[in-house]
Structure 1
Amino acid sequence: MWPLTRTDVPVKLKGATRALLLGTTLALAGCLEVPERLLLSDQFAPGSDCLHPSLAGSSPLPATFSLLSWNIYKQQGDWRPELTRWSAQADLLLLQEASGREGLYRWLNEQQLHWFQVAAFNWQRLPTGVLTASTGQAAQACGQRITEPATRIPKSLLASRYSLQGAAEQLLVINLHAVNFSLRGRTYQAQLDMISEAMAGHGGPVIVAGDFNRWNARRQRLLSAWASRHGLQEAQPEPDLRTRFWGYPLDGIYYRGLNLERAESMASDASDHSPLKAVFSVPGQ
């Protein structure tokens, strides 16, 4: 989401207009490129088939694990101290608007995290898109893109699977940066349908988290109907400091097949989005 502040609606409207103008300007100037390579990684060249594992081996996540989701706003703010503090003891890290700057990759390596990034587009020769990192190695990673109807700027999602201690089936994690501008919500629904395809046939636990860009009643209805159809519940944070637009929280964490132990959101000075953190456990553990 492009608006710059958390609470001021007129500024958010100006920010949305700025995003539209920026996307048009970048496209006309040729500064924005869509790379052929969809996934970047610290460890492997992923296979093209999203229905089958693309890694030879994986290491499991613990039966009780924590997840942090944050739109990091291309690291334009002082992101390092906030991310270091909030990601402490997090087993899964889901970033949106992650820019492929050397500082971020160095930080991930310092934390000894395994990571994947969907290069939704390149701006100033840097890949930008969703990035998923974890303490355990994934059994699969697969990225997808969809193009904004108005700005023509791609948005991305990343599906990854992890072995989970105490669970008979793998955990499927979807990291999402939803389309922002979509008349009548058709492209927004199309992106939700892409997630449905990724979940098809998966009977194990699921987490879908990220920047849902649900800034009006229509989007909230589409998202709620889609979540209900797939048996997904939303983790309600306490305290709830999520960035809101017209009263709707932009970011969220949806889940099924897991126990939610707790969820919270935190105020950020480094991004126009507030991060979300949740702790889950395998039922019966």
Structure 2
Amino acid sequence: MLKGWAVSALLFFTTVTVHAKYTIPDDRDVLTQFGTCHQEYLPAHFQVLVWNIKKGEAKADWARDFEIFTPRSDLVLLQESMIDNFVPAIALRQKDFCWDFATSFLDGKDATGVMNGGLTTPLSVQFLRSPGREPIANTPKMVILNEYVIANSQETLLIANIHGLNFVQNKLNREQILQVAAVLKKHTGPVIFAGDFNSWNQDRLAYLDEILNPLGLQKLKFKNDHRRLKLDHIYVRGLTTVDTNIHHDINSSDHKPLTAEFRLQ
């Protein structure tokens, strides 16, 4: 059994090694855009895919699943996405899709973060870096926000795609949700706030509703939701939900894809 000083030394050297491994980009280097889309506005009836892809580690299996779901979707919100020699190449196969990526951290030249894609050119793209950081690795989590013109509407749609802080006290995860809520509160049109919230305990699930419900955001219910841990969610305001689904048959990530179909109210 390791003595206390040995454990402390091991943790110290592990932390130093991990800190040296990961690089946090400056704000000016967070956003990456690639691909070309031509639509000026989002259709009034549209479908959204939300999926933590686990960095595309399943390679061919993930690429197959991604290429099934993406062509059916008007908007794609990914967490644990990558800028590496694999994921962008698969994304670029999607005809007329453009992609916005917000880097959380770099491991060498490979970037990990959140990514939004779609057939429609966004009016604006911004990001939020979490106030807290994951322990040991000392890496932040990211939110990317895209704003879109919608057909037959004078209002715009704001999309917020989150990867929530995980191995931290609830207080830090809550601060990240409050950070996003402060931005969503200023938007007067419809909103979709979705992604991997890392809401793995009842307190986290409770304060999501406590913070977001007063903003008019309601969590979508999935008729086939028999997940043991409910980490991934879609909150929505100002849209009518036509259909929802959790795709339990997909195993190329440790998270199941969520899809939802919406139309203007």
Question: When the two structures are superposed, what TM-score results if normalisation uses the length of structure 1?
Answer: 0.81
Specify the alignment match of 1:222 in structure 2. 207
Give distance in 1, aligned partners of 2:139 and 2:16: 11
Output aligned runs, 1:112-151, within 5 Å: 112-146=96-130, 147-151=132-136
Identity %: 30
Aligned counterpart, 1:13: none
Say if 1:65 and 1:279, in contact at 8 Å, map to a contact too. yes
- Residues 21-75 of structure 1 deviation map (CA, whole Å, 9 limit, x = unaligned): 9x947524x111111211111279xxxxxxxxxxxx9710100000000000011
Q: Rg: which structure is higher?
A: 2
Q: CA deviation at 1:277?
A: 0.2
Query: Could you give the per-residue CA deviations for residues 93-147 of structure 1, whole angstroms, max 9, x where no partner exists?
Result: 0000001123321222221211100011011321110000011000000012124
Quick one: distance in 2 between partners of 1:135 and 1:276? 19
Q: Is this contact kept in 2: 1:148–1:181, CA < 8 A?
A: no
Q: Which of residues 190, 212, 228 is equivalent to 2:175?
A: 190
Instruction: Quote the residue 1:84 is aligned against.
Output: 67
Separation of aligned partners in 1, 2:207 and 2:70: 31
The Cα shift of 1:239 comes to 2.2
Question: 1:27 pairs with 18, 21, 30, which one?
Answer: 18
Residue 73 of structure 1 corresponds to which residue in structure 2?
A: 54
2:151 to 165, 168, 172: 165
**Aligned counterpart, 1:39:** 31
How far does the alpha carbon of each residue in 1:175-234 deviate from its partner, in whole angstroms, 9 at most, with x for none? Answer: 000000222x22111111111222132110000000011111111111110121211111
Listed as ranges, the gaps of 5+ residues in structure 1 are 1-19, 45-56
Matched residues, number:
245
Q: Measure, in 2, the Cα distance between the counterparts of 1:25 and 1:83.
A: 36
1:236 lines up with 2:221 in the alignment: yes
Match of 1:210 in 2: 195
Listed as ranges, the gaps of 5+ residues in structure 2 are 1-10
Check 1:218–1:141 CA distance in 2 against 1; reply closer, same or farther (3 A cut).
same
